[in-house]
Amino acid sequence: MNSPILVTGASQRVGLELAIQLAQAGHTVISASRHPSATAAHPNIVQFQANLEQEADRLALIEHITRQYDGLRGIIHNASLWLDDGLDNLNTMFKLHVEAPYHLNIALGAHLAKVEKADIIHICDETSTRGSKSHIAYAATKAALQNMVLSFAEKYAPDIRVNAVLPGLLMFKEDGDEQYRRQSLKKALLEFEPGAQPLIDAVFFLLNTHYSTGSSVVINGGRHLKKPITHD
């Protein structure tokens, strides 16, 4: 059966590396992103240009998948924006982090059910469980994305497994200065920049396991255990 994995936000950084490794492992990957990537040149990667904040673009993507493929092996909701707080940005992140995954999960559920083992994986954020005073809207929309894992896991069991990955810092922003890097690293017990591989490893684990649904894999370098330094 011709059953690809849909990966959103796969044109750069972690999403791009994930798409490439999935393709190298033999999966057909549909990379759905705002802008096609010149570096995603692999015969197993099919690029589909779509702004997932827009319903019309999502409908075009859904039509493409249901017409071109017999089934769907998985959906990995990786598309994300890390924007400052504000009503406009809250609305933008809600559309991308909540509305788009909800729409795609509902519309493509029947196509996922055609495959013997199908997975939906929501790439959330470790702030979705603890909040963030500096990025309230981002953390809130990621929390909604994580909550939907529970609902879709129950809705689609036992045919489709639905899980989440909650990463902490993986890769620095390109415009971050040295002070920002040092401060960010000190927030975790493991004080180094791990790159994309921990998230990719978590995704492959969820794709391969047969007894996990409605669960979250946290990869944050022990940030939840880091205690503030106190002086007696």
pTM of the model: 0.91
Q: Which CA distances in Å does 150 have to 23, 132, 211?
A: 28, 22, 15
Q: Encoding tokens for residue 105?
A: 């999960």
Q: What is the pLDDT of residues 147-186, one digit of tens each?
A: 999 999 999 999 999 999 999 877 767 666 666 667 766 7
Asked whether 216 and 164 are in contact (CB, 8 A), the reply is: yes
Q: What is the rounded distance in angstroms from the CA atom of residue 131 to the CA atom of residue 27?
A: 35
Asked whether 62 and 107 are in contact (CB, 8 A), the reply is: yes
Within a domain: 31: yes
Asked whether 104 and 6 are in contact (CB, 8 A), the reply is: yes
- Percentage of residues of the chain with pLDDT beyond 70: 89
The range of the structural domain enclosing residue 61 comes to: 5-221
Within a domain: 229: no
Q: Encoding tokens for residue 188?
A: 């975790």
Which CATH number is 210's domain given?
3.40.50.720
Respond yes or no: is residue 138 known to be catalytic.
yes
Instruction: Give residue 224's pLDDT band: very low, low, confident or very high (50, 70, 90).
Output: confident
pLDDT (average), residues 20-47: 91
Tally of domains in the chain: 1
Instruction: Give residue 232's pLDDT band: very low, low, confident or very high (50, 70, 90).
Output: very low
Which residue of the set 138, 156, 180, 211 is catalytic?
Answer: 138
Number of helical H runs and strand E runs in the chain? 7, 7
The residue to which tokens 């769907």 are assigned: 72
Within a domain: 230: no
pLDDT surpasses 70 at 188: no
Q: Encoding tokens for residue 189?
A: 């017990």
